Structure 1
Amino acid sequence: MSTSKMAVASKSAEPSILEEKTESGTLQTPLSTPSSASNAPEKPALTASQQTKYDWLLKQAQGWTEVHSKEKPGALADSEKMWLTRECLLRYLRATKWHEKESEKRLQETLAWRREYGVEELDADQIGPENATGKQVLLGYDKQCRPCHYLNPGRQNTDVSPRQVQHLVFMLERVIQLMPAQQETLSLLINFKSGKNRTNTAPGIGQGREVLHILQTHYPERLGRAMIINVPWVVWGFFKLITPFIDPLTREKLKFNEDMTQFVPKEQLWSEFPGGELQFEYNHDVYWPALQKLCAEKQAEKVRRWEAGGKQIGEKEDYLKGYDAQGVSPPPGYSSEANN
């Protein structure tokens, strides 16, 4: 990394919130940055063929003016243009094995789904009751700088409803906002330890299929690794039932009852997992607003940089996150002052 990049990256990595702890020193808020010993793997350069396919897809996306939605058609909004980053286009190309037209089709389908599902309208106050017991927690980073997304089914506090799936989508959007520069995947840590009130912590097959469809169709190439412990026989049966619906590449990322410290630094691994040394206690009144504040600050900075860079479809995510000092070149005649 060049000296200028190191300076930019260091500045962007400064904690946005103060860590809040109990009198005994137990953490109650998210962690803002990965461990200093963690490193995101270097991304391989595109081959000539891959670059050609990306250039084709970028040209198509730059020509889009509307979202082709049956329920909510209309002009492509700035937030939707910003979502269409260079890395976003590449994720869909990789997910379709570099089939240009198929990736274009899937990108357009996801744009329509995001608008129809109301992804950007999901509200923290509306979703909050689902997370009152801490059944999903974003906390710390793994050794490759992936943010850790903990699922705690034993803390289930609501009955099956559309809001349960909205809750997962809401948290996925937050974990994406927490991804540092040079990293675009997450680590999923699932603890099936039984809760006080519920013993059957497996979702229904219908809900499981819906979640898998959303993840595989609209969040491709986002799962870096899934680590799962305390799997009861009921849940093993659930995994066997849904296995045919899981992409083979995704199945390879699933790790059951392994030593999690192989993948997550001890100091950033929640102590509820074997080997973890991070003492964390979920207090909804403290954690929930702190998470929203941290994510809002990171998103606001990305928007500011996207606008300063010329509001480009195909903008670099590392530029939006403050790692690259320069984004893609603005279009001819663009004036940042005129658009502020």
Structure 2
Amino acid sequence: MDLNPKYDDYYFPVKAAEEQTGHAGYLTEGQIAQVHQLRMMLESEGYTDRLDTLTLLRFLRARKWVVEDSKKMFVDTEKWRKEINLDGVLPTWDYPEKPEISKYYTQFYHKTDKDGRPVYIEAYGSIDLTAMYKITTADRMLTNLAVEYERVADPRLPACSHKVGTLQETCCTIMDLKGVSITKIPQVYSYVKQASVISQNYYPERLGKLYLINAPWGFGGLWNYMKGWLDPVTVSKINVLGGGYASELLKQIPAENLPKAWGGKCECEGGCENSDAGPWHDPEHTRTPKWQQQKDDGKTIENKGSEIETPAGEKAPEAAPATDAATQPATA
């Protein structure tokens, strides 16, 4: 890779765990040139944020390395961010209705899988949009979704990368379809469609593995039909499982990291769905997210590790110097 000191200030390893062409540390000369081209095109149009190499690589991979298409996707994302004032909302976002919302729609991040990815769990069985919209609004739900994606990018994935010593850019997702009946499908589809637009259009290349569990009768046949429409790489990441899913999940997720409700052994105090447990709360592996750091008229952002709050409310120690893996360019 050819890292740019102006944008690439990573404290975590930036080489992918597996050798995959087009991924960090395994780029061809032509792909390195395409990263430079995309960055220059964006800079020429006045874009200065999120031009780091890892971000540009995700957009290039998402658009099959067609630079013009990748540029359009990036620009569309920046316009969307501005429309919802995401950069302004993110540092102070508060979602106090989450415990009530969780009664109707469970969604949370919890620890990591065996590869070091964050585990994300959603359960659709009790979803009730009518009840949820008495507690919150569709706009707030979608804004919260965007905020969570930002928190995946920083601090969750950097902390996971630092802990395992290799770059982690994706999540291991469990979608529980238990209780999703024919009558609920329209409600589930309505929200999931909106959420999918945000995921696919503005946060590309974040899916590592997806487990669809408790799939209802007949879903397997539908899935076999749907696979023909999808990219083979995407299909390879998706596993459709019925009620006997636990053994498959445990092949990918350590039992001590998987909540007991989904076949594991973890029982966090106050409920796994409320703990947000993971290395992103460990001062050894995390740093203050950039969106919490103060920018001083465009000058270099100061990394204030001492301002990280631990779950116990204690101040974390000063941020350690970047590791060699973070400061040395990986080979192409």
- Same fold judged by TM-score > 0.5? yes
Matched, 1:162 2:143: no
Range that drifts further, 40-49 or 303-312: 303-312
Q: Measured at CA, do residues 157 and 209 of structure 1 come closer, stay the same or move farther in structure 2, by a change above 3 Å?
A: closer
Q: CA deviation at 1:115?
A: 1.6
Distance 2:61 2:262 in 1: 32
Number of aligned residue pairs: give it: 269
- Does residue 208 in structure 1 map to residue 196 in structure 2? no
Structure 1 residues 304 and 169: CA distance shift in structure 2, 3 A = closer
The share of aligned pairs that are identical, in percent, is 24
- Does the CA-based 8 Å contact 1:271-1:280 persist in structure 2? no
Between the aligned partners of 2:119 and 2:326, the Cα distance in structure 1 is: 27
String of CA shifts for 1:176-221, please: whole Å, max 9, x gaps: 32112211111111122339xx983674444333322222211111
Give the CA RMSD over aligned residues.
4.4
CA contact (8 A) 2:213 2:240 kept: yes
Match 2:119 to one of 138, 142, 148: 148
Match of 1:111 among 56, 66, 78: 78
- State TM-score, norm by structure 1: 0.63
Aligned residue in 2 for 1:287: 275
Contact 1:154 1:199 in 2 (8 A): no
C-alpha contact 1:186 1:222 (8 A) present in aligned 2: yes
Higher deviation after alignment, 41-50 or 51-60: 41-50
Please list, as runs of the form range in 1=range in 2, the aligned pairs for 1:78-97 lying within 5 A after superposition: 81=49, 83-97=50-64
Q: Does residue 1:137 correspond to 2:108, yes or no?
A: yes
* 1:125 counterpart (81, 92, 95): 95
Cα distance in 1 for residues equivalent to 2:230 and 2:194: 12
The whole-number CA distance in structure 2 between the counterparts of 1:9 and 1:237 is 42
Residues 299 and 210 of structure 1: CA distance in aligned 2, closer, same or farther (over 3 Å): farther
Gaps in structure 1 of 5+ consecutive residues: 1-7, 11-38, 67-75, 313-319, 329-340
1:173 aligns with 2:150: yes
> Hey, what does 1:189 align to over in structure 2?
174
Q: Which of the residues 220, 237, 245 maps onto 2:204?
A: 220
Unaligned runs of 5+ in 2: 1-10, 162-166, 302-319
In 2, the alpha carbon distance for the partners of 1:152 and 1:130 equals: 15
Instruction: Flag the 1:187–1:202 CA change in 2: closer, same or farther, 3 A.
Output: farther
Q: TM-score, normalised by structure 2?
A: 0.64
Tell me the alpha carbon deviations over residues 233-292 of structure 1, each in whole angstroms, 9 at most, x when there is no partner: 487798689878755532331111251122112221222223x2222365599637x89x
Q: Assess if the C-alpha contact under 8 Å between 1:190 and 1:226 holds in 2.
A: yes
**Contact 2:259/2:272 (8 A) holds in 1:** no
Match of 1:154, SS state, is coil
Q: For each residue in 1:51-97, what CA deviation from the matched residue of structure 2 results, as whole angstroms up to 9, or x when unmatched? A: 1111111222333426xxxxxxxxx6xxxx1x332111001111111
